[in-house]
Amino acid sequence: MTPYVLTDSWTMTRRELAHWARQPGQVLVGLVFPVMLLLMFGYLIGGGRGVTGDYVDYLVPGMFALTMAFGLEGTMLNVTQDLTRGVIDRFRSLPMTNGAVLVGRSAADMLQSAVGLALMTGVAYALGWRAHGGPGAFLGAVGLLLLLRFAMLWVGIHLALIAGRPEMVQAVQILIWPVGFLSNVLATPDAMPDWLGTAVQWNPLSQTATAVRDLLGSQGGEPGHLWAAVAWPLGLLAVFFPLAVGRFARLGR
């Protein structure tokens, strides 16, 4: 570590923000896609197995959680693209803090996710969805969602460092959909066969979705999932954060 951890990280974060300014269209697509999914599942498909009552009320917190998990794709793509560009050699030959490249990436991705979450919340409100349970509970829910995103971010960075090339991201993109849907974001595990329901309940995504539903007073919320919604992401971080940082430091070995 150097005394320049913060300034280096800030410089790298500003680089990502400058990229946004250069390609606002790309950022916009990334923000609009989850909103599209929400509308599609909420109105086009319009229901999930075992969900009775207002489906949108059940779906919205689930889509929040799903969006956080799918953020992994964007992170992977950005990291692999950076690795294949010559600029990474310049960064690695500068006296900057080693991890600042990754910190910049994660700060920008977290910011994009926070903006995405705000946009989805706005759209959900326009559709008539309401958060119950007060501002404290609402902030708690946002905290849980961003914690999940942060964990998925470092999973994504690690996978990207292993994959190395943008083409390899496609394999992960194909895998993340079933993992995302194998949760309670769209349908309740009560209506599933026992073995599937168990797997679905263990999915970290389900834990976050259930805890968020509970905090927001939405359908499908159950008390007692808060600890799992915190422990899962922290566990993932404990594994993947050191792996990713170590792997980045060992580039070139």
Partner 1 sequence: MADTAITVEDARKTYGTEHALDGLDLHVTWGTVHAVLGPNGAGKTTLVRTLSTLLRPDGGRIEVAGHDVLTEARAVRRRIGLLGQYAALDEQLDGRQNLEMFARLHHLGARHARVRAAELLDRFDLTGTGRTPVARYSGGMRRRLDLAASLITDPEVLFLDEPTTGLDPRGRAEVWAAVRSLVGGGTTVLLTTQYLEEADQLAHRIAFVDHGRVVTDGTPDELKTLTGGDRIDVVLRDAGQLGAAVALLPVTGVSVDTDRRLLSAPVADRMSALSGVVRALEAAGIEAADVALRRPTLDEVFLHLTGDENRVKEAA
- d(Cα 10, Cα 18) in Å, to the nearest integer? 12
Segment lying near partner 1 (by CB under 8 A), choices 16-24, 50-58, 136-144, 154-162: 16-24
CB closer to partner 1 out of 14 and 132: 14
Residue 93 sits in the site that holds partner 1 (CB under 8 A) = yes
Does 247 participate in binding partner 1 (rule CB under 8 A)? no
Q: Check residue 84 for interaction with partner 1 (CB under 8 A).
A: no
Alpha helices (H) in 85-165, listed in sequence order: 87-92, 100-126, 134-163
Residue 52, sorted as left (phi over 0), alpha (psi -120 to 50) or beta, turns out to be beta
Closest to partner 1 by CB, 51 or 107: 107
Q: Are 146 and 68 in contact (CB under 8 A)?
A: yes
- Which candidate, 233, 241, 194, 192, places its Cα nearest to that of 211? 233
d(CA 58, CA 61): 7
Complex with partner 1: residue 101 or 237, whichever CB lies closer: 101
Among 53, 95, 128, 224, binds partner 1 (CB under 8 A): 95
Q: 80: which DSSP letter? A: H
Distance separating alpha carbons of residues 116 and 124, to the nearest angstrom: 12
Distance in Å, CB of 71 to partner 1, minimum: 21
With CB under 8 A, what is the number of residues at the site for partner 1?
26
Cα distance between residue 250 and residue 30, in whole Å:
31
Distance of closest approach, residue 18 Cβ to partner 1, in angstroms: 6
Q: Which of 18, 44, 126, 174 binds partner 1 (CB under 8 A)?
A: 18
5, 35, 50, 92: residue in contact with partner 1 (rule CB under 8 A): 92
Applying CB under 8 A, among 32, 36, 45, 94 the residue interacting with partner 1 is 94
Which among 153, 67, 73 has a CA at the least distance from the CA of 110? 153
Q: Which residues make up the interface to partner 1 (CB under 8 A)?
A: 2, 4, 7-8, 11, 14-15, 18-19, 22-23, 85-96, 100, 252-253
